[in-house]
């Protein structure tokens, strides 16, 4: 719920009504667009005074780049960005307000049926394929960032940690202050081995996260767990994928998950489109080709016992 200082506050022609989310880069509000007479979502970034000197020059610039990049994405499975503005010392991004519930909320009732999870996965992959085609790597695919509308449409949310690949041969840009500082960002349980090592990510890192989400939809739990962040990271880097015991999971689905969760990125699906093809086969009951092993060595030749790169702000 919004507090007294934000409820009914006007930012430009957007009236903030209620807080609906929060994160390291600010809070998200349900708001009313007084010009176009519609409800929207507004991400309000904290002022530089609230978070320390240097925030405005780095994080706000990066998030403005995020908004500009996402504004070029027009896909039914990605929440749309409408506007980017500044009021006094407050930067904010205006986005599509997606009704419904997150996949995280849906999973509160337990594992999903195979038909439902395959539908959600198909739509998620379609959205990611569109983002990847524009050089955008999400880097934080997880149930909380997948919104399911009342009519069953999946919308990918929150590209705040996205990595933007430039296609002109120049250096890659990153919309993450943690990455700019040489650290790692993301949600631990869904992070790929290369993310844990602080190495460059590409579409295959999102494929790993998708595999974690798929496993969670089938079983109600994530495959790699630990009582501490260190223990969880060790499981991600070294442990094989636990078998799926759910009766709803077919052999084809198990093969898809294991290929997504290959430690070596070269043995995963290389694109969202490639994975979508196997999901379609699973939906139709067609047998898949043998999957890649899910316990290979980590990317870039790292040994199984190599130490991951750490940042205290990584979420777990």
**From CA 192, how far away is CA 184, in angstroms rounded?**
11
* Active-site amino acid positions: 140
- Listing from the earlier edge strand, what are the strands of the sheet with 154-156? 101-102, 146-148, 154-156
CB 77 within 8 A of CB 155: yes
Distance (Å, whole) CA 255 – CA 279 = 10
Six-digit token string for 12? 């430009």
Tokens of 133: 């085609």
Continuous H helices in the chain: 48-51, 55, 61-70, 103-106, 114-133, 177-180, 193-196, 203-219, 229-238, 251-260, 272-284
Half-sphere exposure of 111 (CA within 13 A, CB side): 18
């Amino acid at each position: 719920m919004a507090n007294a200082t934000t409820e009914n506050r006007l930012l430009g022609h957007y009236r903030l009504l209620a807080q609906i989310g929060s994160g390291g880069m600010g809070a998200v509000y349900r708001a009313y667009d007084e010009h176009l007479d519609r409800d929207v979502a507004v991400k309000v970034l904290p002022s530089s005074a609230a978070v320390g000197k240097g925030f405005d020059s780095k994080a706000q610039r990066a998030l403005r780049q995020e908004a500009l990049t996402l504004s070029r994405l027009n896909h039914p499975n990605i929440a749309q960005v409408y506007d980017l503005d500044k009021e006094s010392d407050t930067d904010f991004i205006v986005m599509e307000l997606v009704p419904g519930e997150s996949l995280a909320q849906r999973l509160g009732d337990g594992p999903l049926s195979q038909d439902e999870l395959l539908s959600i996965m198909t739509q998620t992959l379609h959205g990611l394929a569109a983002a990847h085609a524009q050089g955008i790597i999400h880097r934080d695919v997880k149930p909380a960032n997948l919104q399911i509308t009342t009519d069953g449409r999946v919308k990918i949310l929150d590209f705040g940690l996205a990595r933007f690949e430039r296609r002109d041969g120049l250096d890659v840009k990153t919309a993450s202050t943690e990455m700019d500082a040489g650290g790692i960002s993301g949600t631990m349980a869904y992070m790929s081995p290369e993310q844990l090592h602080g190495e460059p990510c590409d579409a295959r890192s999102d494929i790993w996260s998708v595999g974690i989400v798929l496993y969670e939809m089938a079983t109600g739990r994530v495959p790699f767990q630990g009582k501490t962040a260190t223990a969880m990271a060790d499981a991600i880097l070294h442990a094989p994928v636990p078998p799926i015991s759910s009766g709803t999971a077919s052999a084809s689905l198990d093969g898809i998950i294991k290929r997504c969760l290959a430690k070596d990125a070269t043995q995963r699906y290389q694109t969202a489109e490639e994975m979508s093809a196997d999901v379609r086969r699973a939906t139709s009951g067609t047998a898949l080709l043998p999957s890649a092993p899910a316990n290979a060595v980590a990317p870039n030749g790292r040994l199984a016992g190599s130490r991951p790169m750490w940042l205290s702000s990584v979420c777990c």
